[in-house]
Amino acid sequence: MIHPKAEPIGPTGSSRTAARLAWSVWVLAMVLAGLGILFLALSYSTPIPPRWGPRGSPAIAALVSSTIGALIVSNRPRHPVGWIFAWTGLFSGVQVLSEEYRVYALLTMGGSLPGGEISAWIANWIWVPAIAPAITFLFLLFPTGQLLSPAWRPVTWFAAIGAAGTTFLGAFVPGPFEQFAYLNNPFGIEALGNLGISASSALVPLMVAVLASVASLILRIRRSEGEERLQLKWFVYAAVLVALALPGGALYQSFPAGPIFLISGIAATQVAVGVAILKYRLYDIDLLINRTLVYGSLTLVLAGVYFAGVALLQASFRALTGQDSPLAVVLSTLTIAALFNPLRGRIQSAIDRRFYRSKYDASRILSAFSAHARDEVEVSRLSASLMEAADQAMQPTTITLWLRDSGEPPKLEPISNSQLQ
């Protein structure tokens, strides 16, 4: 007799090795990011050329990506998304260190320290491997770790070629650096310059791969069901937060806090991916989405009421007394305090009616039954109303009602939907 091979209990040697490697990458990413933050602190007051976003922001990616990656690899060592996050965190650590050391060495210290030009060279291309896997392979492989179908395999080659090509050209196209224009690329290949190839030439296949990856994720969402749909809900929820923060990130010069919201949203997306893959409290996502819709809408409405109230009351006070009055702020504050609970109830009801129809219908049916039960004294009619309400609210295949007469054992009466109809 041939017995099936027993599955090993507990972590195997390969999984322990994978976990050690992932946490080693985490330690290295933390060291690199820490050194980058140190050089940022030493050169914080140094004027730098214009750039997008706040300085040191890759350190957040190094922390969040490498941590989520190490946690996923420790629990699911064969899942490729864990390794994508681990290496993304490592490259982000290299990015923040190279960006901040070049500022310290070239500007703060006036070029008196070694390695400043090399750091500028690394910073010119390291951003590509730091973000390209997260915006291509993550969309293609989340949440199962596999492609939607073999037909999507060419997209992975497009992504790899685009990322590798953009990195290569950023590293070896001759000419001045983007931010430090007075420095020329020390490793520039003159043949690339003679061909007229720019560092952005390989971005086209990379952008095509990004768009195709997003299409793959959308198609996966439409086909998903069950647990996979809950995993995708976590990702979509965080992605919506990023989309809401994008305008603030684009308006960095006039809205300095915008990139912070955007970076926080991206970090939330990575955390959501980790929660989904590790399957930790997946079912809480519906409650989280519901609360976000309710309290987000409530905040917007109350803010509008507050500012409109202050403006109208101040205009009234100016017309009556010729000057502003702090009473307008007090009255507006009291107004929104009075509106909070009634408005929250109305918004909750509207959102349940629009997005959670089954929950709204069940709540309405049970409320109607409760009102009817207060006035009903006949047991048979109350039993019939109870079974009808349960059938309408939950739509079970069968309903079983337990009735206990005084002094007798409980009696079981199974009733099917056809009997109710």
**Both 342 and 370 in a single domain?**
no
* Distance from C-alpha of 193 to C-alpha of 275, rounded to nearest angstrom: 46
What are the structure tokens assigned to 375, written together?
Answer: 């006035």
pLDDT in tens, 288-305: 666 766 777 778 788 888
* Distance from C-alpha of 48 to C-alpha of 177, rounded to nearest angstrom: 14
- Asked, for residue 37, whether it belongs to a domain, the answer is yes
0.85 exceeded by the pTM?
A: no
pLDDT in tens, 15-60: 888 889 999 999 999 999 999 999 999 998 888 776 666 788 889 8
- Residue where the block lists tokens 């140190």: 38
**Both 264 and 341 in a single domain?**
no
Total domains present in the chain: 3
- The gap between the terminal CA atoms of the chain, to the nearest Å, is 56
Domain boundary among 313, 338, 355: 355
**Both 345 and 364 in a single domain?**
no
* 40: enclosing H helix or E strand: helix 13-42
Q: How confident is the model at residue 269 (pLDDT cuts 50, 70, 90)?
A: confident
**Both 178 and 123 in a single domain?**
yes
- Is the pLDDT at 165 greater than 80? The verdict is yes
**Both 33 and 151 in a single domain?**
yes
Residue partners of 374: CB distance under 8 A and separation at least 6: none
Domain boundary among 241, 265, 282: 282
**Both 265 and 382 in a single domain?**
no
Q: Average pLDDT, stretch 336-340?
A: 82
**Both 349 and 276 in a single domain?**
no
Domain boundary among 355, 384, 399: 355
Range of the domain at 345: 291-355
Choice among 134-143, 194-203, 207-216 with the minimum mean pLDDT: 194-203
Cβ burial 334-344 (10 Å sphere, 16+ → b, else e): ebbeebeeebb
**Both 102 and 202 in a single domain?**
yes
Query: 393: exposed, middle or buried (C-beta count within 10 Å: 0-12, 13-18, 19+)?
Result: middle
**Both 229 and 341 in a single domain?**
no
